[in-house]
A and B are shown apart, each in its own frame.
Chain A
Amino acid sequence: MPDQTTIADIKPSSQAKAPDIVPFKSSLARHDLKLVRQTTATLQINLGFLCNQTCRHCHLNAGPGRKENMDAQTLKAVVAYAQRCRFATIDITGGAPELNPLLPDLIQQIAPLTSRIMLRSNLSALHQNFDPLMGVLKSHRVVIVASFPSLNLSQMDAQRGEGIFEESIAVLTALNALGYGCDGTGLELNLVSNPTGAFMPSGQEQIEKRYHQILKQKWGLTFNRLYNFANAPLGRFKQWLIQTGNFENYINKLVASFNPCAIEGLMCRSQVSVSWDGYLYDCDFNLARGLFMCGKKIHVSEMSGPPEPGTPIITADHCYTCAAGSGFT
């Protein structure tokens, strides 16, 4: 049966039954593992929770009604931190970062401080700001990491909203026309696919091959890499899981998919995530849960350098998302 629940129907539920699962820390201990930081190479900047879409899988509850957006003062502190640390990669995310008017300034200021800037885009927000943004993105060779969860219109629109599939195809076409995702241009276009429901993602290699084949064959589109991630049971996705009676099975599936070999390569080990208000987290999922890095509220302006290697990473049950299967990078 198709799910008839609309996004507006989904509200936080106080009746969420917390499944009786093995705590993440215990799963680590069972394999003699500890989750600690290594050298921090990536600064992830979350520009805010404002988004033009209201995706069902969003772990941050981002949407058009959210007011949390990075201001100029915080942005200045973030840029100063990037200057102090010289991260190899700066990863800009949201919400929809394109909706923060400070985005072009941020890119211009951090471009001399790093060798790689990534912008996570839902494509439709980029569509709305295409002409003013593309000049800046292209001139600084910003890597575009675009959400494209499914090759099927019904699946994608069910997750991200009506009309998003066709709009995404139109934006990818425009990006290809500018050289993004095309051989020899140096303009990188990567896609992110994630399950459109309460199930696990498929193997990265097979799904990437299929995306290349279908996007080329049906729409003449090209891209560089595809990343395939599981959805974290947080925010709106958690609410959807509860409302549809999928929560317990989904959590159990994540726990059963725990892969000790994935721990070493987890993204939280080599990145620090700064929220729209300037506070630091080990990752965007901990940001969604309000779990501060080192368990305390540290503002980016207080940091003299990157977090020390060996510092323990704050964990919770949602960490099973990244430790499932081949991991999350």
Chain B
Amino acid sequence: METYYKPEDLPRFEEIGQEAPELARKFFEYYNAVFADGELSEREKSLIALAVAHAVQCPYCIDAYTRACLEKGSNLAEMTEAVHVVTAIRGGASLVHGVQMRNIADKLSM
């Protein structure tokens, strides 16, 4: 079935540099530096990336960082917890706006 998202497009990511090579070079250099071992390990960074991939609902990122998490030694239980963390933040972000709702409702109500 025709779809906007094709798995074979993921390895073509670098083609984005064809029209703006300097910007792409800077982006990929930054990207690779971000994911290198630092104060956080590559494994921890991959778990964060996996969680964020679910928040931004990017199928390419979910594919890439599921694989990366496994390769860096994470297991499915850890990865599932990471997805719950981002789900809690997303849900919490909605729910905490309920305070605004309450403030406005209080102001408008008798």
* Chain A interface (Cβ < 8 Å from any Cβ of B): 150-152, 154-155, 193, 195-197, 199-203, 206-207, 210
Which of A195, A196, A199 has the largest number of chain B CB atoms within 10 A? A199
Are B72 and A195 in contact (CB-based, < 8 A)?
no
B1 at the interface (CB under 8 A from A): no
- Complex CA distance for A196 and B76, rounded to whole angstroms: 11
Are B76 and A210 in contact (CB-based, < 8 A)?
no
- Complex CA distance for A150 and B69, rounded to whole angstroms: 13
- Complex CA distance for A150 and B75, rounded to whole angstroms: 9
Are B75 and A202 in contact (CB-based, < 8 A)?
no
Partner of A195 from B37, B43, B71, B76 at Cβ < 8 Å = B71
Are B76 and A154 in contact (CB-based, < 8 A)?
yes
- Complex CA distance for A171 and B53, rounded to whole angstroms: 40
- Complex CA distance for A210 and B72, rounded to whole angstroms: 10
- Complex CA distance for A196 and B67, rounded to whole angstroms: 12
Listed A/B pairs (13) with beta-carbon separation below 8 Å: A150-B73, A151-B75, A152-B75, A152-B76, A154-B77, A199-B71, A201-B71, A203-B72, A206-B42, A206-B43, A206-B72, A210-B41, A210-B43
Partner of A210 from B70, B73, B77 at Cβ < 8 Å = B73
- Complex CA distance for A263 and B67, rounded to whole angstroms: 26
- Complex CA distance for A195 and B37, rounded to whole angstroms: 20
Are A199 and B42 in contact (CB-based, < 8 A)?
no
Main secondary structure of the interface of A (DSSP, over half): loop
Interface residues on B, range: 10 to 19
Residues of A within 8 A of B37 (CB): 206
Are A200 and B76 in contact (CB-based, < 8 A)?
no
Q: Which residue of B lies closest to A210 (CB)?
A: B73
Are B73 and A199 in contact (CB-based, < 8 A)?
no
- Complex CA distance for A200 and B42, rounded to whole angstroms: 14
- Complex CA distance for A145 and B71, rounded to whole angstroms: 22
Distance (whole angstroms) from the CB of A244 to the closest CB of chain B: 14
Distance (whole angstroms) from the CB of B34 to the closest CB of chain A: 16
Are B75 and A154 in contact (CB-based, < 8 A)?
yes
Known: A199-B67, A199-B71. A206 touches B41 (CB 8 A): yes
In the A-B complex, the 4 residue pairs with the closest CB atoms = A152-B75, A202-B72, A199-B70, A202-B73
Which of B37, B42, B43, B73 has the largest number of chain A CB atoms within 10 A? B73
Residues of A within 8 A of B73 (CB): 150-151, 193, 202, 206-207, 210
Interface bits B67-96 vs A (CB < 8 Å: 1, else 0): 100111101110000000000000000000
Residues of B within 8 A of A154 (CB): 75-77
Are A155 and B75 in contact (CB-based, < 8 A)?
yes
Residues of A within 8 A of B41 (CB): 206, 210
- Complex CA distance for A151 and B42, rounded to whole angstroms: 17
Distance (whole angstroms) from the CB of A20 to the closest CB of chain B: 15
